[in-house]
Amino acid sequence: MLIDSHVNLHAPQFDGDREDVIARARQSGVGIMVEICDKVGNFKAVRSLADRHPDIWATVGTHPHEAKEDPSLSSGTLCELAAASRVVGIGETGLDFHYDLSPRDIQMQVFAAHIEAAQRTGLPLVVHTREADAEMGDMLEAAYTRQPFKMLMHCYTSGAELARRTAALGAWFSVSGIATFKSANDVRAVIAEMPGDRIIVETDCPYLAPIPMRGRRNEPAFLPFVLAKLAEIRGWSLTETEERTESAFFSLFDRIPRP
């Protein structure tokens, strides 16, 4: 079974054919999708997708780009929303110092609330990080020392040092279509060194379509291209890659029953 650990099916890019996209995912062998909340203001739409489809699960959280939406977002609010059925993770959250679409201090404040929510609920934290390796490592290490929690370094494209720091905390890593890009040699080098039992795959659709679909709107049906590239990078067979990523997924998202 293929599992897309990070989809954004509530995005407006899918407004014209959302159900067709979901049907194509199933036809391509994708048996489970995790619908990611990009901001708490969109949680209702995210949850609605999971409620309507038994193979879709949901997270709750606010992306660092959207942290300015509610700078006072509390772990209590996140925990309350996470109590809804079919919610299996906290995030997507983190730090993005490349675009700085929210002030950095607000990003860090909101990220801290998400970390606390993950600690309180036991749900895995879905982490976005870009050009904030030192700050990200420091925040995760300090919080983990206070109280351990599960974390997923989603669509990992940061440096080898942050990968080592978070791997030491037991982090999982997800591989996306970026791994197929011709210019992504550094990303592939880090993937080659990731803990083999803690790697999962994602599309991050509608973004980051893999080669040979690059330039098109991404969708879960393109996940096999990501899986094939991961197999190539790690020297695994396709069957082994599918089995390894499936096992790692259910170890991380342990509230999703294994079929």
Per-residue pLDDT reduced to its tens digit, 90-124? 999 999 999 999 999 999 999 999 999 999 999 99
Q: Does pLDDT of 259 surpass 90?
A: no
Average pLDDT over residues 37-65: 98
| Per-residue pLDDT, 83 | 98
H helix or E strand, kind and range, residue 95: strand 87-96
Q: Mark 153-164 as b/e (b = at least 16 C-beta within 10 Å).
A: bbbbbbbeebbe
| Per-residue pLDDT, 98 | 97
| Per-residue pLDDT, 89 | 98
Q: Which two tokens stand for residue 38?
A: 């990009």
The Cα 223–Cα 21 span in angstroms is 13
**What angle is formed at CA 13 by the lines to CA 8 and CA 16, rounded to 5 degrees?**
115
Pairing of strands 30-35, 56-60: parallel
Average pLDDT over residues 48-76: 98
pLDDT band at 36 (very low <50, low <70, confident <90, very high): very high
Average pLDDT over residues 155-165: 98
Average pLDDT over residues 131-147: 98
Does the global pTM surpass 0.75?
A: yes
| Per-residue pLDDT, 121 | 98
Average pLDDT over residues 70-76: 97
Question: What is the per-residue pLDDT across 200-235, written as a single tens digit (0 to 9) for each?
Answer: 999 999 999 999 999 999 999 999 999 999 999 999
pLDDT band at 46 (very low <50, low <70, confident <90, very high): very high
Query: Is 205 within 8 Å of 9 (Cβ atoms)?
Result: yes
Query: Is 140 within 8 Å of 169 (Cβ atoms)?
Result: yes
Mean pLDDT for all residues in the chain: 98
> CA of 92: how far to CAs of 5, 7, 102, 113, 133, in Å?
12, 11, 15, 12, 17
Q: Which domains does the chain have, with CATH numbers?
A: 2-252 (3.20.20.140)
Average pLDDT over residues 62-67: 98
The Cα 87–Cα 36 span in angstroms is 10
| Per-residue pLDDT, 173 | 98
Sequence-distant (6+) residues with CB within 8 A of 55 are 26, 31, 32, 33
